[in-house]
Amino acid sequence: MASHVLRNQADLDAGLAILTANDPRLAKLVPTAGRPALRQRPAGLAGLCAIICAQQLSTASASAIWGRFSAAFDPFHHDALRRARSDKLARIGLSRPKIKTVKAIGAAIAKGDIDLEALAGMEADDAHSALTALHGIGPWTADIYLLFCLGHADAWPAGDLALQEAARLAFGLKRRPSAKDMVTLAQEWRPWRAVAAHLLWNYYRSIKRRDAVPIPAQNRENRDAR
């Protein structure tokens, strides 16, 4: 079973206290970063599809497409999604790869191949593997779902561009670390890697004076639907 789930701000604060007590590098970031607020999104099929819709789009475009998408499938159910006509999904604004992905997810849920909400009770690596086994779900999408939708305390979106840049700034690295570098960097923060991610995103926002919106880095380590 997963050791920790970030259900509320108190859980995040508790994880941060443990991390900063054990890693001086993170403790040094707190005066600049401040206290990170827990960011949460709806779990389940709707939450995952909203993440997929937002990939590689501006916030405004993603919101508009998701508004049409969620309205067209109310209630938002996997059977309706897997049976949906591709031309209907295209008119809503989904790209061909995203259409294929959301329909595949609907089919996987219908077959019982995955239970999205049950992933919170699994170890982070196992939950990550279950998600990335689905068509079109790459590492970034899996980690963002685990972190924001399920509050998995050990989720670590190593392929996230803003998180990579935050690590570069925070630790004085000569170049932005790759996803592989980020996995190595965060090993000692288990099982609280998601808390470290919240802190680093906050640090990025404080330094850059803009919000650190999660964005997948463009490299071979991500195969998310575009």
DSSP letters of 186-205? TGGGTT-HHHHHHHHHHHHH
| CA pseudo-torsion sign 131, 46, 148, 225 | positive
Looking at every residue in the chain, the average pLDDT score rounds to: 90
b/e 56-67 (16+ beta carbons within 10 angstroms → b): ebeeeebeebbe
Closest CA to 149 of 118, 106, 125: 118
For the chain, which residues score pLDDT lower than 70?
A: 1-3, 210-215, 217-226
pLDDT of 104 reads 95
- pLDDT on residue 1: 43
Whole-prediction pTM: 0.89
The domains found in the chain, sorted by start residue, are 9-39+154-208 (1.10.1670.40), 44-149 (1.10.340.30)
- pLDDT at residue 167, rounded to an integer: 97
Cross-strand pairs, 152? 5
Interatomic CA distance for residues 121 and 61, integer angstroms = 33
pLDDT at 123: 87
Residue 214's pLDDT is 67
Residue 219 has a pLDDT of: 46
Q: Which residue has the tokens 């561009």?
A: 161
Say which residues have a Cβ less than 8 Å from residue 187's Cβ, sequence separation at least 6.
Answer: none
Contact 6, 12 (CB under 8 A): yes
CA 125 to chain centre: 14
Assess contact for 176 and 138: CB atoms under 8 A.
Answer: no
